């Protein structure tokens, strides 16, 4: 690794921005050893050490197939379009790499041909877009919708023509040889490096014991970049979910089946109409619910914890009877059984029938699993988003699942991120992910935080739960922004707080103000980069995966310590689970989780060796509470001040 990453190494001779980084060499050696000796490795890689090359070079050196899983699309593209070509041009070992996205990003040629003759458009304005997709699809080499820059992100008909796994009919498909998923899988089979994102990786992992839907070929190792996101992503694929959109899509696909058996077709139509009617009644349970009786609201929004008494109630004699919601569920379930029966007896069924039957059976299983709620290691909840109603069953603790499905099955799992430790320890992330044995490495950043950064903690702030906190926070933000001349992120822990602070601050400063939600995430970031002295108010999605280098971002202000919202159904269930098993959910979960999130927020500030900036945390608990020391010990060693004059002096030194 020294011969490649050293001062006179291969990269130094070819990379125009080469900079010797001891942390990069240490990480590369650690990854190489893990791959060679076939054990797991946790690496906290400080900002700026060049971690992508530090894991890519050892991965290539193995000569075996390695999956690289990233947390963001931007990082995927950086790896495939920048880092991989660079290494292919300088490394003596030749290798192939493939970039794979989730299946829903690809068009399904078979479904597209069917859609050309069936109604899938929601308005005439979509006709031109559909024609554009049709012309493109038959000439594309990848089938990736990203090639269509003019296609709106939320175009309604895409879900009727995409290649997601639950509708795939595999080798029985008449378009199997031309299929973009078939080609992508073949490319992956011929590659040593496969670049995916966490969602695709865990979607594939959840299907590896099934005979359909897989995209990834067998691999010897996986390297997770932005590994702090693994738990939340993985749990989405090892639970169960049912939505009204899912039912609508299923019934739509059934209506487009070509069934030549006239009698069977009539029965399928009647059964489908009954399912549609019973489903509509079933969803009424979640549109006019009384939170006090059977559900509890989350954060005043659209998330609710499902409770079994919503569907059944005990009588005085100890027996149970269905509630109105329970009767609606039984009727819906019965209608699905009738539909399944009608589909199963179709003679000379079209090739799509196998996937349709699988979907109906899976729907019945997931619906039972969620409504009956018998598995104590799961939390059952509902979320309303716009017209969508989503029922979910989520594992409370992913550690056992990940240990069984990932760490005990794959020879080498490397997990890296700039934020994996809490107070210098990997114990929290290991416990959450189920990592029993692994090597550990902290590869320090080569940035000089003592000169590049200042941590400002205001001296007189009320408790965040106090009604005066927003006014006091706004006053501090105004003082800080005047000192920094804008050029700041104001990161908030809730949408309501973001909007309140923006209203209190905007008309008392002379800098352009942007706010999350006033455009796409990438569009807002582009505007921030090109707008001199801009101030961006944002929430969780801007705490990580955002890269703004140079003077455009010189200050990050954080309103409160980013504790997870305790009324979130999943968070609340995790906390109860820890407490019920003899732990302390606050110290064992809430604090270390918040520390990792806070470190992500700080990571937005110093992105290069020449960046300078001020981080300000307005929450007084970081100095008034005992656990505050854990937060401070977890941050890079930088100067700390409680005087606004020091902030003003810090920025005056730029002149």
Closest of 409, 380, 406, 231 to residue 308, by C-alpha: 380
Distance between CA atoms of residues 648 and 638, nearest Å = 17
261 and 409 share a domain?
no
Flag whether 182 is in a domain.
no
pLDDT digit string (tens) for 598-619? Answer: 888 777 777 777 888 999 999 9
For residue 180, being part of any structural domain is answered with no
On whether both 432 and 471 belong to a single domain, the answer is no
Q: Is 407 exposed, middle or buried (0-12, 13-18, 19+ CB in 10 A)?
A: middle
Asked, for residue 278, whether it belongs to a domain, the answer is: yes
Query: Which residue, of 416, 443, 470, is where some domain finishes?
Result: 443
Tell me how far apart the alpha carbons of residues 281 and 630 are, in angstroms, rounded to a whole number.
51
Q: Does residue 274 form part of some domain?
A: yes
pLDDT digits (tens, 9 = 90+) for 252-289: 889 988 899 899 999 999 999 999 999 999 999 887 65
Start-to-end Cα distance in the chain: 41
In a shared domain, residues 143 and 249 = no
The per-residue pLDDT for range 32-62, each reduced to its tens digit, is 999 999 999 999 998 888 899 999 999 999 9
Q: Are residues 568 and 610 in the same domain?
A: yes
**pLDDT-based confidence at 300, cuts 50/70/90?**
very low
Do 472 and 619 touch, CB atoms closer than 8 A?
no
- Does the residue 181 lie in any domain? no
Distance CA 71, CA 544 (A): 10
Distance from C-alpha of 600 to C-alpha of 587, rounded to nearest angstrom: 19
* Helices first, then strands: H and E counts in the chain: 27, 21
Does 502 lie in the same domain as 542?
yes
Instruction: Kindly state whether residues 116 and 75 are assigned to the same domain.
Output: no
pTM, rounded to two decimals:
0.86
Q: Please give the structure tokens belonging to residue 174.
A: 């008449």
Domain shared by 255 and 381, yes or no? yes
Establish if 177 belongs to a structural domain.
no
> Of 165, 182, 202, which closes a domain?
165
Question: Nearest to residue 482, comparing CAs of 585, 557, 402?
Answer: 557
Q: Is the dihedral of CA 389, 395, 397, 400 positive or negative?
A: negative
C-alpha 282/C-alpha 367 separation (Å) is 11
Give the distance, in angstroms, between the CA of residue 16 and the centroid of all CA atoms in the same chain: 33
Contacts 24+ apart (CB under 8 A), 578-586: 586/627
Same-domain status, 439 and 474: no
Question: Whose CA is closest to 158, among 105, 197, 204?
Answer: 105
* Residue-wise pLDDT tens digits, 426-484: 999 999 999 999 999 999 888 888 888 999 999 989 999 999 999 999 999 999 999 99
Q: Return the CATH number at 385.
A: 1.10.275
Domain edge (last residue) among 419, 443, 467: 443
The answer to whether residues 454 and 369 belong to one domain is no
- Report whether pLDDT(93) > 80: yes
Residues of the domain holding 283:
240-395
Instruction: Give the chain's domain count.
Output: 4
Q: Does one domain contain both 231 and 255? A: no
In terms of domains, do 205 and 253 share one? no
Q: What is the CATH number of the domain that holds 469?
A: 3.40.50.300
Same domain for 70 and 205:
yes
Query: Is residue 113 domain-resident?
Result: yes
Three-state DSSP at 486 gives coil
């Amino acid at each position: 690794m020294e011969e490649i990453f050293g001062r006179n190494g291969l990269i130094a001779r070819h990379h125009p921005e080469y900079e010797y980084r001891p942390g990069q060499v240490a990480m590369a050696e650690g990854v190489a050893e893990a791959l060679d000796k076939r054990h797991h490795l946790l690496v906290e890689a400080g900002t700026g050490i060049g971690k992508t090359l530090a894991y890519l070079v050892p991965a290539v050196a193995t000569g075996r197939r390695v999956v690289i899983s990233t947390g963001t699309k931007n990082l995927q593209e950086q790896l495939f379009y920048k880092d991989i070509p660079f290494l292919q041009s300088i490394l003596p070992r030749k290798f192939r790499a493939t970039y794979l996205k989730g299946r829903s990003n690809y068009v399904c040629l078979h479904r597209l041909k069917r859609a050309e003759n069936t109604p899938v458009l929601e308005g005439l304005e979509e006709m031109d877009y559909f024609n554009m997709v049709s012309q493109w699809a038959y000439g594309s080499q990848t089938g990736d919708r990203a090639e269509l820059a003019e296609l709106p992100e939320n175009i309604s008909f895409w879900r009727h023509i995409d290649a997601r796994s639950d509708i795939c009919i595999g080798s029985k498909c008449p378009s199997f040889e031309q299929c973009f998923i078939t080609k992508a899988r073949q490319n992956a089979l011929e590659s040593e490096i496969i670049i995916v994102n966490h969602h695709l990786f865990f979607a594939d992992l959840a299907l590896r014991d099934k005979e359909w839907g897989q995209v990834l070929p067998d691999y010897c190792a996986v390297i997770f970049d932005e590994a702090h996101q693994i738990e939340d992503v993985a749990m989405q694929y090892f639970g169960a979910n049912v939505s009204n959109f899912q039912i609508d899509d299923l019934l739509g696909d059934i209506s487009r089946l070509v069934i030549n058996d006239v009698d069977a077709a009539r029965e399928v139509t009647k059964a489908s109409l009954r399912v549609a009617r019973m489903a509509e009644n079933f969803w009424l349970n979640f549109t006019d619910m009384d939170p006090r009786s059977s559900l509890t609201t989350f954060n005043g929004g659209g998330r609710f914890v499902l409770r079994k008494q919503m569907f059944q109630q005990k009588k005085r004699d100890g027996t149970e009877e269905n509630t109105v919601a329970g009767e609606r569920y039984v009727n819906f379930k019965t209608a699905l059984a009738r539909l399944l029966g009608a589909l199963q007896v179709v003679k000379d069924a079209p090739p799509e029938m196998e996937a349709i039957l699988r979907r109906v059976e899976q729907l019945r299983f997931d619906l039972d699993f969620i409504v009956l709620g018998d598995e104590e290691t799961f939390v059952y909840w509902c979320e309303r988003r716009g017209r969508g109603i989503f029922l979910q069953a989520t594992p409370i603790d992913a550690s056992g699942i990940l240990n069984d499905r990932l760490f005990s099955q794959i020879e080498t799992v490397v997990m890296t991120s700039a934020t994996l430790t809490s107070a210098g320890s990997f114990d929290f992330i290991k416990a959450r992910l189920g990592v029993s044995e692994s090597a550990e490495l902290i590869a320090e950043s080569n940035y000089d935080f003592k000169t590049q950064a200042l941590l400002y903690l205001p001296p007189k702030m009320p408790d965040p739960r106090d009604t005066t906190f927003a006014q006091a926070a706004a006053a501090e933000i105004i003082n800080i922004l005047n000192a920094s001349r804008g050029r700041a992120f104001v990161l908030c822990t809730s949408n309501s707080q973001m909007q309140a602070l923006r209203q209190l601050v905007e008309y008392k400063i002379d800098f352009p103000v942007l706010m999350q939600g006033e455009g796409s995430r990438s569009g807002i970031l582009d505007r921030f980069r090109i707008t001199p002295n801009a101030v961006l108010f944002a929430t969780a999605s801007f705490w990580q995966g955002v890269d703004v280098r140079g003077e455009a971002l010189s200050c990050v202000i954080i309103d409160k310590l980013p504790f997870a919202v305790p009324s979130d159904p999943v968070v609340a269930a995790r906390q109860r689970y820890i407490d019920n098993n003899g732990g302390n959910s606050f110290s064992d979960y809430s604090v270390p989780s918040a520390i990792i999130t806070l470190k992500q927020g700080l990571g937005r500030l110093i992105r290069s060796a020449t960046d300078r900036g001020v981080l300000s945390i307005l929450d007084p608990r970081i100095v008034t509470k005992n656990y505050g020391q854990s937060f401070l010990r977890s941050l890079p060693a930088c100067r700390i001040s409680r005087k606004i004059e020091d902030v003003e002096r810090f920025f005056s030194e730029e002149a």
